[in-house]
A and B are shown apart, each in its own frame.
Chain A
């Protein structure tokens, strides 16, 4: 019966391989998320941890049930009552949408140029796009402070050239947040766009030209529609993290720059209101699940 033994060992191994990613997701995503959901249903308290109930799994099922009965949706109701929260969500959404569009506008020509560059240059160009990742994200955002602040490099240069007579107040402001997001997320747009544009069969453009289509029209009729999977992938890769961005608005944004990441941070660390900040996080996730699902559907369709 060596054969059955071997095949059952085989299937056990297969099961293990499948289980590892699931285990990873359960342990590092689902479990923390459930903890956040649980805290969001709790009530703020001056204690350690700063909320009740703190579930005590050693006290027996009856006591646990009593604690669970204390759960409340008050925090979620509170989010709808204070304008700060939905204004933060809306402002984040606006900033994420506009910066995604700007990143697409800047990233597309770069990716196109890379894909049309001579073969021996492409790897180098790709390397240049990835190169900034070798430096910490935080340090790169700090570098932008050095460039954009009133006495920063940009103002010094413009003053020196005589373009302006007084330093511009670019930072802190929402404009600086846009600059920071566009800069930071540009590679996430360029890489998927480059991947689709590089695969594009150039004989299709020859065929279009042959049928009477000049190059500019051919771009909009052939190249752009065929690069849509890359456009969609790039947009989601930029939009989803930009929506919850905290570091960039915190470092480059002014007090008037409202973003949900910042609000969440303030709720958690300044107010020490863990339940409300947890509710903010859960709602943010719920908002992002919609585009994530749309993204997955688009990916599936592209794979067909």
Chain B
């Protein structure tokens, strides 16, 4: 167990950095979706989807509402049965196994705490259900209360707790039975921003400490990026991309993923050259040439988009040395001052807007670049990616 080797005070770096079973062809998947389809009447919630999740992984299912992420999770818990395909857990086929016989536990979005039981009884519920001897139940519940720092609230009823405390009780209750997989359904959605951020880090800490497999469903991309080892971005019942947070952000495989995660600028055009691992894109309208280092995704003549994050675009009043490559010009249309950064909206001659982020490293007295200034936007050859879909 990872928990045993984790000594207090050490960062999670060594564990999190070394953990990448998805790159190991010999690793056995812990949870497997094999060609799973789920229909609700005419509506296809999950569409012929296959997915592997590994033991001790913190896996995020990310997507807009209605993309099928919750249905996918509910199929692990047993609240939905697939219309076709198989869901395997630790080598066992889960299809047909009722939820009360599955070695998984779920933390519900609404917490679903039993309102007529106090905190202690809520946490003990699953243990009593297993017929655990009373002294063991007491020890386990106390351990869980200590884990979520709610020892003093054992006798409280759920309606006497704050949102953050309820969330902790729900977490303790779902962890009490030491499930093989913990399912988290939008677990932090009801908390305010500050508490949510704190809790995200506590979740990571807990997951590493307990050495458990966590699957989280969220529509909040920041949350997924913070907690997860890998993210599956979903759209209309299909997985668009599965990768680590950094890969998802830096190497999105489609405009959908690029647009869903963070802010993105898209320039449309055609590939005019792919020589030497560098793709050249002739932009529609502006005629600007974009050169990007790539590993062969885009072919000559492809209709493609250049995607670059605003923080990777440099804004300047003077033209670059070679204004014909990786540069566009326009006028500052609007400035969003966010305190730590300012986002410049630059309108090109074609009418398209390109965003550039500037970090405010000094106190803002007078903006060096302001509204209606004619500016140049530039980026490096490895600043963005070329997308063909």
**Residues of A in contact with B (beta carbons under 8 Å apart):** 201, 203-204, 206-214, 217, 221-222, 225-226
List of A residues within 8 angstroms of B125 by Cβ? 208, 211, 213, 221
Question: How far is A221 from B129 in the complex, measured between Cα atoms in Å?
Answer: 11
Interface 0/1 of B72-115, CB less than 8 Å to A: 00000111000000000000000000111100111010101111
List of B residues within 8 angstroms of A213 by Cβ? 100, 125-126, 129
Cβ–Cβ contact A211 & B116, under 8 A: no
Interface 0/1 of B129-141, CB less than 8 Å to A: 1100000000000
**Residues of B in contact with A (beta carbons under 8 Å apart):** 77-79, 98-101, 104-106, 108, 110, 112-116, 125-126, 129-130, 173-174, 177
Cβ–Cβ contact A209 & B98, under 8 A: yes
Question: How far is A210 from B182 in the complex, measured between Cα atoms in Å?
Answer: 11
A201-B112, A206-B79, A225-B116 known; A211-B98 Cβ under 8 A: no
Chain B residue with the shortest CB-CB distance to A213: B129
Q: What is the minimal beta-carbon distance from A224 to any residue of chain B, in angstroms?
A: 10
List of A residues within 8 angstroms of B79 by Cβ? 206, 209-210
Chain A residue with the shortest CB-CB distance to B176: A211
Q: What is the minimal beta-carbon distance from A220 to any residue of chain B, in angstroms?
A: 12
5 further A-B contacts with Cβ under 8 Å, apart from A208-B100, A210-B78, A221-B125, are A203-B112, A206-B112, A213-B126, A217-B129, A222-B114
Cβ–Cβ contact A212 & B100, under 8 A: yes
List of B residues within 8 angstroms of A209 by Cβ? 78-79, 98-100
Q: What is the minimal beta-carbon distance from B299 to any residue of chain A, in angstroms?
A: 49
Chain A residue with the shortest CB-CB distance to B110: A203
Q: What is the minimal beta-carbon distance from A120 to any residue of chain B, in angstroms?
A: 15
Chain B residue with the shortest CB-CB distance to A205: B112
Chain B residue with the shortest CB-CB distance to A206: B79
Q: What is the minimal beta-carbon distance from B185 to any residue of chain A, in angstroms?
A: 10
Cβ–Cβ contact B129 & A211, under 8 A: yes
List of B residues within 8 angstroms of A225 by Cβ? 116
Chain B residue with the shortest CB-CB distance to A225: B116
* 8 A–B contacts, CB within 8 A, in A order: A201-B112, A208-B114, A209-B78, A209-B79, A209-B100, A210-B100, A214-B98, A221-B125
A225-B116, A226-B116 known; A211-B177 Cβ under 8 A: yes
List of B residues within 8 angstroms of A222 by Cβ? 114
Question: How far is A208 from B108 in the complex, measured between Cα atoms in Å?
Answer: 11
Q: What is the minimal beta-carbon distance from B174 to any residue of chain A, in angstroms?
A: 8
Cβ–Cβ contact B77 & A207, under 8 A: no
Q: What is the minimal beta-carbon distance from A204 to any residue of chain B, in angstroms?
A: 5
Q: What is the minimal beta-carbon distance from B188 to any residue of chain A, in angstroms?
A: 17
Cβ–Cβ contact A201 & B110, under 8 A: yes
Chain A residue with the shortest CB-CB distance to B159: A304
Question: How far is A110 from B129 in the complex, measured between Cα atoms in Å?
Answer: 28
Residue from A212, A214, A217 in contact with B126 in the complex, judged by beta carbons closer than 8 Å: A212
Question: How far is A217 from B130 in the complex, measured between Cα atoms in Å?
Answer: 13
List of B residues within 8 angstroms of A214 by Cβ? 98, 100
Question: How far is A210 from B105 in the complex, measured between Cα atoms in Å?
Answer: 6
List of A residues within 8 angstroms of B112 by Cβ? 201, 203-204, 206-207
Cβ–Cβ contact B100 & A207, under 8 A: no
List of A residues within 8 angstroms of B116 by Cβ? 225-226
Chain B residue with the shortest CB-CB distance to A203: B112
Chain A residue with the shortest CB-CB distance to B179: A210
Q: What is the minimal beta-carbon distance from A213 to any residue of chain B, in angstroms?
A: 5
Cβ–Cβ contact A212 & B177, under 8 A: yes
Cβ–Cβ contact B115 & A211, under 8 A: no
Cβ–Cβ contact A210 & B77, under 8 A: yes
Question: How far is A225 from B116 in the complex, measured between Cα atoms in Å?
Answer: 7
Residue from B98, B114, B130, B177 in contact with A207 in the complex, judged by beta carbons closer than 8 Å: B114
Q: What is the minimal beta-carbon distance from B119 to any residue of chain A, in angstroms?
A: 15
List of B residues within 8 angstroms of A212 by Cβ? 100-101, 126, 129-130, 177
Cβ–Cβ contact A210 & B106, under 8 A: yes
